[in-house]
Amino acid sequence: MKNRLSLPDEVASIQDLTVLILEVREYVKWFSHNAILERVSKKRTVKPIALSPSATKLLQNWEKLQPLTTRSLDELLDTLNLYKNTAPTLSITLAAPVTNDIKQTLINWCRANVAPNVMVTFGFNATLLGGMVVHHGSRIFDWSFRRQILAARENFAEVLRRV
């Protein structure tokens, strides 16, 4: 990402990033309005808007790279939109709804081993029986128990007879 900006860990999917962009856009409006008020009246009369922890972390990281100005915040929005349009995406389907711990573990693994800017969405499908299915573009990687059982249909009947 431009200027070595990294997204907060909570921002995992394109939907999360879209929400973050909308929130930063509202902050930019507030910041610009407040800057005009400071120039005109020399006092802050507009209460700061409430930000999510993710947006707060993002703005703190951005401020470490460069001072917050209207121009730099516009650059941040451009960077986030570029990120949204170019980041690789994965869709992971599990056999049960994903817990936060598993979600964070999978996201960290994907960002360490696939791409540092990968966006990951999660779904679940109980018919998988276990394991996972990963979609990337037109490619599908199926590591589900269901596929393994269906691949070894003949052996499955033999195992059931011995039970």
- Residue 124 and residue 110 share a domain: yes
- Residue 150 and residue 109 share a domain: yes
CB 95 within 8 A of CB 126: yes
pLDDT digits (tens, 9 = 90+) for 68-97: 999 999 999 999 999 999 999 999 999 999
pLDDT (0 to 100) of residue 44: 60
- Predicted confidence (pLDDT) at residue 2 exceeds the cutoff of 60: no
* pLDDT level of residue 116 (50, 70, 90 thresholds): confident
**Amino acid in position 115:** A
* pLDDT level of residue 47 (50, 70, 90 thresholds): confident
Q: Which of 86, 113, 146 is the last residue of a domain?
A: 86
Domain around 107: 89-162
pLDDT (0 to 100) of residue 119: 95
Q: At what angle do helices 14-41 and 70-86 cross, to 10 degrees?
A: 170
Residues sharing a CB contact under 8 Å with residue 61, sequence separation 6 or more, in sequence order: 5, 6, 8
- Predicted confidence (pLDDT) at residue 109 exceeds the cutoff of 90: yes
What global pTM score does this model have? Answer: 0.77
Residues sharing a CB contact under 8 Å with residue 128, sequence separation 6 or more, in sequence order: 93, 94, 95, 144, 145, 146
